């Protein structure tokens, strides 16, 4: 019998009429290295949760078929028993945190299993070493960056030594160096211990050298490797920004935002040091750098979430250093790294139009724009769906729709490409490129070098809280290579070539 066997499995979420998974058949042998790929919203995360036994804890779950892992029927056992077979790293690391500190988080399940304290300490250090996170051991979870939280989530599951390890986009928040290290380490662990590894992932370029067994999941149906059809991004449907006044060449224009000698300290730790930056109308700027380098903090400070320790922040021809966030909403649209941090309403339509309603901008034109943008986002048929029922990638698209419709002069976007397949990533980058062409400005925190090279005008690269580079895309990657940041170069232009 196969180590993992899924037979004729279908699943429908409570309250839904259409199955999310249909007639899934899948066999995986012990020690295999498996990748499940496919478009955003196709059912990948649902399949991962099913394999881990998460979906069968309701009183009357609606499913058919079987899922067996190492002779255990995962559809029939309580979660505490299924967790002994399968460890599942969720797409959003915060969804699985149970404690307040890194040490407690990794120890939590080990202590529940009544392991010896010395064994627990050894496993914690081993797991953090695997993800290059030993420096995080004594940190509070709330102080970590998105990528650092992802490292802790992976380490907490590795420490359990399960039969099967499922990772749902485990590197979506990680920089290229950390991504490659995690993939290669998982592959090595599998070879040494026989651990079966299943990765749900869009970043296939950094996995292909490891020769994984690949499955394609789309619209709830699973097929074997279907890699070979090239991407041809569809024309973007819908939203068109209201043009801003035609802009001059940036070097002859007044900056929209000017950051001068900015330093930011949070909880006693300096996160940004002496950052100076000018951003002009009509620019599409990529903010790049390793995890924990201060990228999110830079955006948050511009948005007014942090008060600088030193330096000045000028924007929209006024001093923003002491400005309140509420005073900036008309001019700035902001998207957090975690999509759940800005979902507030009971339906997709309410969420998309919330800012329009708050700013009293629910005109016929803006309502029409909202409908068109949701159609282009693949959410038109889900306008009455609760936002928490969306996939991670769908939530990201809803976040963008909600902040762009009131036509802000500046968009601050933190990792919006997380959870997006390449087709949707291209669509959204085209929308943002069009947005800047009309005189708006975009600052995008982003690890995807190929998309940055294709769509962005300029790269600002941070490392350890300092600005290492600020250059046009045409020269920036060459300069990054000279500086020793080869992992951030666009080596494999498309992560995978599928439609």
Two tokens, residue 210: 């490891």
Helix, strand, or coil here: 196?
strand
* Residue-wise pLDDT tens digits, 88-100: 998 888 889 999 9
- pLDDT in the model for residue 228: 41
Among 68, 66, 52, 47, residue whose Cα is nearest residue 2: 68
- Lowest mean pLDDT across 126-130, 240-244, 403-407: 240-244
CA distance 299 to 293: 12
Pair 157, 104: CB distance under 8 Å: no
DSSP 143: G
Residues of the chain with CATH 3.40.50.300: 4-224, 250-488
- pLDDT in the model for residue 146: 78
161 pLDDT more than 60: yes
CATH superfamily of 250-488: P-loop containing nucleotide triphosphate hydrolases (3.40.50.300)
Pair 275, 467: CB distance under 8 Å: yes
Task: State the DSSP string of 144-177.
Answer: S-HHHHHHHHHHHHHTT--SEEEEESTTTTS-HH
The alpha carbon dihedral of 470, 472, 477, 478 has a sign of: negative
- The residues facing 266 across adjacent strands are 269
> pTM (2 decimals)?
0.78
- pLDDT in the model for residue 225: 63
Q: Which CATH class is domain 4-224?
A: alpha beta
CA distance 244 to 281: 9
- pLDDT in the model for residue 235: 45
- Compute the average pLDDT of residues 372-395: 90
CA distance 329 to 306: 16
- The residues facing 498 across adjacent strands are none
Helix, strand, or coil here: 424?
helix
- pLDDT in the model for residue 331: 94
CA distance 217 to 197: 17
- pLDDT in the model for residue 150: 85
- Lowest mean pLDDT across 2-16, 236-250, 305-319: 236-250
242 pLDDT more than 60: no
* Residue-wise pLDDT tens digits, 64-113: 999 999 999 999 999 888 988 999 998 888 889 999 999 999 999 999 98
CA distance 257 to 280: 7
Confidence band of 31 (pLDDT split at 50, 70, 90)? very high
CA distances from 311 to 276, 293, 376, 471, 489 (A): 9, 18, 41, 22, 31
CA distance 307 to 310: 9
- Lowest mean pLDDT across 26-30, 141-145, 322-326, 344-348: 322-326
Q: Where are the alpha helices (DSSP H) in 169-241?
A: 176-193
Strands 458-463 and 466-472 turn out to be antiparallel
Confidence band of 494 (pLDDT split at 50, 70, 90)? very low
CA distances from 95 to 66, 88, 153, 338 (A): 26, 11, 10, 10
* Residue-wise pLDDT tens digits, 249-288: 444 478 999 999 999 999 888 999 999 999 999 999 999 9
Radius of gyration, alpha carbons of the chain: 23
Confidence band of 1 (pLDDT split at 50, 70, 90)? low
DSSP 341: G
Helix, strand, or coil here: 75?
coil
The rounded Cα 327 to chain-centroid distance in angstroms is 28
3 pLDDT more than 60: yes
């Amino acid at each position: 019998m196969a180590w993992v066997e899924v037979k004729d499995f279908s699943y429908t979420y409570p309250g839904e009429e259409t199955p999310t998974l249909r007639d899934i058949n899948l066999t995986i042998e012990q020690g295999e290295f498996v990748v499940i790929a496919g478009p955003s919203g196709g059912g990948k995360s649902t399949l991962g949760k099913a394999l881990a036994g998460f979906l069968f804890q309701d009183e009357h779950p609606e499913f058919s078929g079987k899922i067996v892992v190492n002779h255990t029927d995962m559809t029939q056992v309580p979660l505490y028993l299924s967790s002994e077979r399968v460890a599942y790293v969720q797409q959003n690391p915060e969804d699985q945190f149970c404690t307040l500190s890194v040490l407690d988080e990794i120890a939590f399940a080990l202590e529940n299993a009544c392991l010896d304290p010395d064994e627990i300490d050894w496993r914690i250090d081993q797991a953090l070493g695997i993800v290059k996170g030993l420096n995080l051991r004594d940190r509070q979870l709330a102080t970590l960056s998105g990528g650092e939280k992802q490292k802790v989530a992976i380490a907490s599951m590795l420490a359990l030594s399960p039969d099967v390890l499922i990772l749902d986009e485990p590197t979506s928040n990680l920089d290229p160096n950390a991504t490659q290290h995690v993939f290669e380490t998982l592959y090595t662990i599998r070879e040494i211990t026989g651990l079966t590894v299943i990765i749900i992932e869009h970043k296939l370029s950094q996995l292909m050298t490891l020769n994984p067994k690949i499955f394609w999941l789309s619209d709830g149906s699973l097929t074997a490797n279907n890699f070979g059809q090239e991407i041809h991004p569809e024309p973007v449907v819908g939203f068109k920004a209201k043009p801003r006044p035609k802009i001059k060449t940036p070097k002859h224009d007044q900056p929209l935002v000017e950051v001068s000698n900015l330093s930011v300290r949070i909880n006693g730790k300096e996160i940004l040091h002496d950052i100076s930056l000018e951003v002009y109308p009509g620019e599409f700027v990529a903010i790049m750098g390793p995890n924990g380098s201060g990228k999110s903090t830079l955006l948050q400070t511009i948005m007014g979430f942090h008060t600088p320790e030193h330096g000045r922040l000028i924007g929209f021809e006024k001093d923003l250093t002491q400005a309140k966030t509420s005073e900036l909403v008309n001019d700035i649209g902001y998207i957090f790294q975690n999509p759940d941090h800005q979902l507030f309403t009971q339906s997709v339509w309410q969420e998309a139009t919330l800012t329009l309603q708050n700013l009293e901008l629910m005109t016929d034109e803006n309502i029409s724009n909202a409908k068109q943008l949701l159609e282009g986002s693949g959410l038109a048929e889900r306008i009455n769906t609760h936002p928490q029922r969306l996939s991670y990638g769908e939530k990201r698209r809803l976040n963008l729709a909600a902040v762009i419709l009131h036509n802000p002069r500046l968009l601050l976007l933190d990792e919006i490409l997380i959870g997006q397949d390449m087709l949707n990533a291209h669509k959204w980058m085209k929308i943002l490129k069009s947005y800047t062409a009309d005189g708006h400005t975009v600052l995008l925190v982003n690890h995807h070098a190929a998309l940055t090279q294709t769509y962005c005008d300029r790269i600002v690269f941070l490392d350890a809280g300092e600005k290492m580079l600020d250059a046009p895309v045409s020269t920036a990657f060459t300069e990054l290579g000279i500086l020793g940041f080869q992992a951030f170069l666009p080596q494999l232009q498309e992560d995978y070539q599928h439609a």
